[in-house]
């Protein structure tokens, strides 16, 4: 499909606004991960403590995504998106001026979870402006804001080398403020749902098996992607002893690949079906993660992780094609639920890797456990009940 057709089918400025909002929010969301090696060295943290520190924003985002999904359905994603960015600014100011202990950094991580909840704003803003047959590509483009992880992992360590890790939080305020203004100018409230979702509707949705299936699928695809983006700078530094900048550069390559391939995942899902795409994603992803669990040489490990992040990036786009088709009229709250599951999956990955490293002296068993989770997801995609998602509407 030509981009001109996509532009004419919906509201292109809102699609751009959604992408920018998502991008800078993700940039802020993974700051603790990109700076984790510096903070850990400065505070003398164990592997499990570093794992928890970079995982807290992911867990916090899981809760905030549900809240923003409900608020966005009722008041509109544009209004709620503008308010959410104010919390991101507060988090960055706190990290810049006030965070000097492990406890205070965990508090910053909780606030940064609001940035991770941008999922529940950006995707409904983009998706509701486009018809069902354009859902996969439109939401894939908006979801390419995952590229914010690339900016952070690439530039944050270099800025920390020059100015110290506290200053990086202050410098991050610049792009966040600029996008805040751009979002206000470009975004247009999409057509509201016929009936705004309430907490009671959320409870009812939790009784639907399809909602749980989509949450489980996304917990693996996005949880693996963002969990690796957050923890791999620490992993490469601790496991192979390379410089913090070089470690972050390797992760930036993987994050870039996953972000660029997310729209492709949505496009392929539009063409051949989301569950078909996901079957390939989980099969390839499980194999790559199992390979890394043997902790081979640096070059082989780095290549496998980069390919794994790209693979799960494709999966992220495919899952949300299914969300857009299956729950078009309730996309805001379902986006919040599914996004929360992704954040929860991301929380477990660095937590498991850190705890396993302290317990067994190796990251290998933890990586093996994550490979098993991807294999389980693969099995679910070939079940008829999951395959039927692509043909359902609600």
Q: How confident is the model at residue 194 (pLDDT cuts 50, 70, 90)?
A: low
Which of 29, 127, 144 is closest to 69 using CA atoms?
127
pLDDT in tens, 295-353: 999 999 999 999 999 999 999 988 878 877 776 666 666 777 887 888 899 999 999 99
E strand or H helix at 170: helix 165-186
- 7-16, 252-261, 372-381 — which is least confidently predicted? 7-16
Largest Cα–Cα distance in the chain? 56
pLDDT at 264 over 90: no
What's this model's pTM, rounded to 2 decimal places?
A: 0.81
Mean pLDDT of 289-296: 96
Q: Answer yes or no: are the C-beta atoms of 190 and 329 closer than 8 Å.
A: no
pLDDT in tens, 66-116: 888 778 877 888 888 889 899 999 999 999 998 889 999 999 999 999 998
Q: How confident is the model at residue 383 (pLDDT cuts 50, 70, 90)?
A: confident
Cα Rg of the chain (Å, integer): 19
**Residue 49 to residue 342: CA distance in whole angstroms:** 22
**Residue 394 to residue 392: CA distance in whole angstroms:** 7
CB-neighbour burial class of residue 86 (10 A; exposed 0-12, middle 13-18, buried 19+): exposed
């Amino acid at each position: 499909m030509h981009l001109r057709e996509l532009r004419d089918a919906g509201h292109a400025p809102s699609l751009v606004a959604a992408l920018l909002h998502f991008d800078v929010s993700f940039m802020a969301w993974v700051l603790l991960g990109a700076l984790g090696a510096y903070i850990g060295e400065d505070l003398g943290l164990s592997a499990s403590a570093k794992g928890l520190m970079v995982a807290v924003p992911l867990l916090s985002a899981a809760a905030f995504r549900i809240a923003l999904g409900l608020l966005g359905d009722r008041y509109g994603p544009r209004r709620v998106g503008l308010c959410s960015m104010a919390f991101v600014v507060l988090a960055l100011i706190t990290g810049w001026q006030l965070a000097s202990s492990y406890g205070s950094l965990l508090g910053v991580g909780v606030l940064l979870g609001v940035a991770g909840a941008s999922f529940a704003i950006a995707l409904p803003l983009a998706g509701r402006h486009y018809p069902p047959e354009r859902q996969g590509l439109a939401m894939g483009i908006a979801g390419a804001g995952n590229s914010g992880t690339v900016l952070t992992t690439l530039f944050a360590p270099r800025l920390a080398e020059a100015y110290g890790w506290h200053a990086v939080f202050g410098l991050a305020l610049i792009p966040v403020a600029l996008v805040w203004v751009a979002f206000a100018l470009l975004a247009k409230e999409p057509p509201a749902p016929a009936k705004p979702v309430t907490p009671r509707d959320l409870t009812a949705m939790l009784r639907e098996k399809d909602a749980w299936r989509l949450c489980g699928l996304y917990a693996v695809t996005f949880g693996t992607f963002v969990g690796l983006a957050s923890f791999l700078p620490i992993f490469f530094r601790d496991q192979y002893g390379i410089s913090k900048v070089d470690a972050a550069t390797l992760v930036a390559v993987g994050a870039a690949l996953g972000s660029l391939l997310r729209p492709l995942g949505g496009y392929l899902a539009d063409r051949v079906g989301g569950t078909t795409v996901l079957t390939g994603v989980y099969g390839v992803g499980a194999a790559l993660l199992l390979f890394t669990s043997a902790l081979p040489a640096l070059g082989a490990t780095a290549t496998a992780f980069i390919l794994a992040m790209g693979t799960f990036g494709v999966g992220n786009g495919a899952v949300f094609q299914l969300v857009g088709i299956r729950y078009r009229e309730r996309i805001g709250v379902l986006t919040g639920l599914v996004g929360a599951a992704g954040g929860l999956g991301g929380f477990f990955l660095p937590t498991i890797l850190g705890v396993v490293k302290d317990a067994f002296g190796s990251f290998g068993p933890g990586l093996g456990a994550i490979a098993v989770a991807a294999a389980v997801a693969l099995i679910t995609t070939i079940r008829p009940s999951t395959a039927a998602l692509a043909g359902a509407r609600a």
